[in-house]
Structure 1
Amino acid sequence: MKQLVLLLLIIGIGLSSCEGRKTQNQALSESIEEFKKTVNFETNIYIPETYIEQEVDTLMSNGFRVKIKTYSDLSNAVRFSKIKDTINYQMHYRNFKFDISISKDDKEIYNENFDKQKINKVFKYNANLVSGSDLYNFNTLAVLKSINVNDDPSYKNMVLIDIMYAIPESDKYAIHRLYIDNNGKSNVVQTEVK
């Protein structure tokens, strides 16, 4: 009987001393989770980091001289956010401005400056497009990816310039071709959209 009373006493002490305390690992895990919820680190990343300027001067086989100057617009960028662990990465993809100057027989026939607002008008990127359409959000999210002189020999009295805009961190892009004739008149045609 003494043994039974002693056993019940030990079990009673054991049960009364158990307060539902957490192990050190459980307490540390919960503390880390609470820290992640309350602390927020933010990192701003700019692409490109600084001002970039590039000039291309091309003398084409059909006698046209094409000058294209592209430069980063430091006051206009598209922002994407990614949260990884406790860090909020703010990715700022800068838009680019570009100038196109074309001359034929030492006479300037075309000279235009383009920024994001002008491209939205020329390429018909606008906010009225239906979600799911090919150019949806291109007015706000697309940035210049490339601009190239197309030296197609079949166009003897014309300059062709291919301009590609894409939405960063996606596979969406649109390619437009700018046609400029020997009188300086221009026309834009969308050639590819994905």
Structure 2
Amino acid sequence: MKYRSLIFLIGCTIIFAGCDGRNRLHKTPKEVLQESKLLDSFSENTNYIPEEYTEIETDTILNNGFRVHIKTFSDMENSFLELTETESVNEKTRFREFKSDVTVFKDDAEIFHKTIDKAFFANQNESHELDLNLMTLLMVDVNQLPDASSNQLEEAQIEFYYLHTKRDYKLQYLLRIQPNGEFILSNFEN
């Protein structure tokens, strides 16, 4: 009985001494992670821009009787992916989409209310859909400058600026809302 427990103890010691990881001594950490199928979880880094819910609300009163209320917020459900690969780590950056709830009043009567996002602009100009898929909303601005031909601005003008994440390429949309609630959309490329 004494010898059985001693033989069992010596056998366990030999088994555990043989599992000290010497076979991995001359392998790189990347090779060890590939063997254990853990490489993907350690070599991938995902960032979200913005990380948390973001909201900006503006209320602008123009001297021509228009009042523009804009609530721009990050859509936490929709984003687009930008991949950057290095030797050991794949960087994934997810840019969250932004939407703007735009409400325009003329002499205290609501004349325009829409949620403006990339789909709104793509529906107006289908050739921009591919470019917009890789762009993020940079800024929404109420334009208060009068038209060059007159000294009075007879409409509400809202500018939307989109920036391409990899190239130095911008799209600018000008949403002009008339006193009857109809809108005209024009765009400019930079």
TM-score, normalising length from structure 1? 0.72
Q: How far apart in 2 are the matches of 1:107 and 1:34?
A: 65
Q: Which residue of 2 aligns with 1:185?
A: 182
Corresponding residue SS for 2:95? strand
Structure 1: gaps of 5 or more residues: 1-26, 127-134
1:16-165 aligned within 5 A = 31-32=27-28, 35=31, 38=34, 39-40=39-40, 41-122=43-124, 124-126=125-127, 135=128, 137-153=130-146, 154-165=151-162
Q: How far apart in 1 are the matches of 2:33 and 2:162?
A: 37
CA contact (8 A) 2:139 2:162 kept: yes
Q: How far apart in 2 are the matches of 1:114 and 1:145?
A: 14
**AA partner of residue 145 (structure 1):** L
Q: How far apart in 1 are the matches of 2:32 and 2:138?
A: 36
Structure 2: gaps of 5 or more residues: 1-24
- In the TM superposition, residue 169 of structure 1 has moved relative to its aligned partner by 2.3
Q: How far apart in 2 are the matches of 1:83 and 1:156?
A: 49
Q: Which residue of 1 aligns with 2:163?
A: 166
CA contact (8 A) 1:36 1:86 kept: no
Q: How far apart in 2 are the matches of 1:125 and 1:167?
A: 17
Corresponding residue SS for 1:137? helix
Aligned-residue CA RMSD (Å): 2.3
Q: Compare CA radii of gyration and give the structure with the larger one.
A: 1
Q: Deviations over 1:85-118 (max 9, x none)?
A: 4111110011111111111211111111123322
Q: How far apart in 1 are the matches of 2:90 and 2:54?
A: 26
CA contact (8 A) 1:125 1:139 kept: no
Change (3 A) 1:36 1:85: farther
Deviates more, 1:139-148 or 1:90-99: 139-148
Q: How far apart in 2 are the matches of 1:97 and 1:136?
A: 16
Aligned residues: 156
Identity of aligned residues (%): 29
Change (3 A) 1:155 1:171: farther
